[in-house]
Chains A and B, each alone.
Chain A
Amino acid sequence: AQKVTQAQTEISVVEKEDVTLDCVYETRDTTYYLFWYKQPPSGELVFLIRRNSFDEQNEISGRYSWNFQKSTSSFNFTITASQVVDSAVYFCALSEKSGGGADGLTFGKGTHLIIQP
């Protein structure tokens, strides 16, 4: 069975600090996909990134970066120079590939990130 663990329930930092959100996953499949979503106070879920299990390259997008390590089953998310607008709940999610198509996501419990001015 697949499982996603986000051990940090809540993180509070001061603006401009760097912050890393941890994500550890469990799966028996060799082919799987990892995602990060952001849920701002308005409630919608916003897609941030998708990674497949064969691509361990780290990715950087502006102030956001992701570190995927299969050896430790982790897919961590770092925000550099955090801003108040980054305040949100962040979800890590996993999808196993079966039948060659899109399957549902298993979400972690989320990390509530608070950026204080």
Chain B
Amino acid sequence: DAGVIQSPRHEVTEMGQEVTLRCKPISGHNSLFWYRQTMMRGLELLIYFNNNVPIDDSGMPEDRFSAKMPNASFSTLKIQPSEPRDSAVYFCASSLRQAMNTEAFFGQGTRLTVV
């Protein structure tokens, strides 16, 4: 398997623009997570889905952030409008939800810079 695939790897955008980050989870995994990594706050969970349904979005910083999972093989994280403080590395991860909590496998991340 190719692992979790994120695109783009790097994104530079101007303040106020819309940004869309994409994620393809590992085939067969039914849980998907979006994390954000910054120097100040470390790694934070933004939102996660089970079987394409959002379960917990309490980590989404504000209404400018939204995430969708239209099917089992694709998810997006959108920021509209973007602000400089959104600059961070955004990771997508997937895992197999079952009785035992399994490990999450991470994509390589999208480094977002908002200028």
| B91 partner residues in chain A, CB cutoff 8 A | 45
Are B101 and A91 within 8 A (Cβ)? no
- A95 at interface by CB-CB < 8 Å: yes
| B55 partner residues in chain A, CB cutoff 8 A | 103
- Expressed in whole angstroms, the Cα–Cα distance for A45 and B94 within the complex equals 12
Of A50, A100, A108, A109, the contact of B102 (CB 8 Å cutoff): A50
A93 CB to nearest B CB, Å: 8
- Chain A contact residues (Cβ within 8 angstroms of B): what range? 20 to 34
Of B45, B101, B106, the contact of A50 (CB 8 Å cutoff): B101
| B98 partner residues in chain A, CB cutoff 8 A | 101-102
> Could you pull out 15 A-B pairs where Cβ atoms are within 8 angstroms?
A43-B108, A44-B106, A44-B107, A45-B109, A47-B104, A50-B101, A50-B102, A50-B103, A102-B95, A102-B104, A103-B56, A104-B33, A104-B59, A105-B104, A107-B43
